[in-house]
A and B are shown apart, each in its own frame.
Chain A
Amino acid sequence: DAKTTQPTSMDCAEGRAANLPCNHSTISGNEYVYWYRQIHSQGPQYIIHGLKNNETNEMASLIITEDRKSSTLILPHATLRDTAVYYCIVRVAPGSGGGADGLTFGKGTHLIIQP
């Protein structure tokens, strides 16, 4: 799986949009970009994923650059409950020789929403 680079931590004011960047410059054409978040002592929560096109769901939007080398997760109106560690992950298609079919989590970005 391609490696990702994320800032260690970020702050955002409550009610503002939180924009979390992720660099994945070695991503391959068949790799998806996934975003998860984890609140302390809980399991990771799936947020969104995409391949090439921008995606939006009830939680967030995912903006992927045209060259696919970076992406941004957008939480449109951040609340205190959005304080968590956010993980950006790329996942290779099964059988592509990229190793076991799990998700490779790095250290993520600790997002702190300020009141």
Chain B
Amino acid sequence: DGGITQSPKYLFRKEGQNVTLSCEQNLNHDAMYWYRQDPGQGLRLIYYSQIVNDFQKGDIAEGYSVSREKKESFPLTVTSAQKNPTAFYLCASSITWASNQPQHFGDGTRLSIL
């Protein structure tokens, strides 16, 4: 079954800890994206990757890091430098990074601070 898989669905972090959110796609898409959504708000772009081994900062990259070592995987690490990490995190992918290619989303990971 083709799609985008995010895990875990819920994640809890202690103060000062780094946590890594997983995003895997089997759609053979070149481009992948990470967004953050806060309650009652729209999505904000954290990082994006146009192709494997390349990634770029989005609008709110501070306190986050990513890697793109494999085409199908784009993990996001929320570091201890991110002072307000509680949010709903969404991963997306598209065939290419061209603006006429729709992005398709996973079901998200909800991160909370203990």
Q: Which of A43, A105, A108 has the most CB of B within 10 A?
A: A43
- A44→B56 CA distance, assembly (Å): 22
- A104→B97 CA distance, assembly (Å): 15
CB of B99 within 8 A of CB of A93, answer: yes
Interface size, chain B (Cβ < 8 Å): 33
CB of B90 within 8 A of CB of A94, answer: no
Within the complex, what minimum Cβ distance (angstroms) separates A52 from chain B? 12
Which residue in A92, A107, A108 is a CB contact (below 8 Å) of B99? A92
- A92→B99 CA distance, assembly (Å): 6
Within the complex, what minimum Cβ distance (angstroms) separates B101 from chain A? 9
B residues near A102, Cβ cutoff 8 Å:
33, 35, 43, 45, 48, 58-59
- A100→B43 CA distance, assembly (Å): 13
Say if the beta carbon of B98 comes within 8 Å of chain A. yes
- A32→B102 CA distance, assembly (Å): 10
CB of A45 within 8 A of CB of B99, answer: no
Within the complex, what minimum Cβ distance (angstroms) separates A42 from chain B? 6
CB of A43 within 8 A of CB of B108, answer: yes
Interface hits, A60-112 → B, CB 8 Å: 87, 91-94, 99-108
A residues near B104, Cβ cutoff 8 Å:
46
Which residue in A30, A31, A44, A99 is a CB contact (below 8 Å) of B90? A44
Say if the beta carbon of B17 comes within 8 Å of chain A. no
- A3→B33 CA distance, assembly (Å): 21
- Residues of A bordering B, CB below 8 Å: 30-32, 34, 41-46, 49, 51, 87, 91-94, 99-108
Can you sample 12 A-B contacts with CB below 8 Å?
Answer: A34-B102, A42-B108, A43-B4, A43-B105, A43-B108, A44-B43, A94-B99, A101-B50, A102-B33, A102-B45, A106-B42, A107-B42
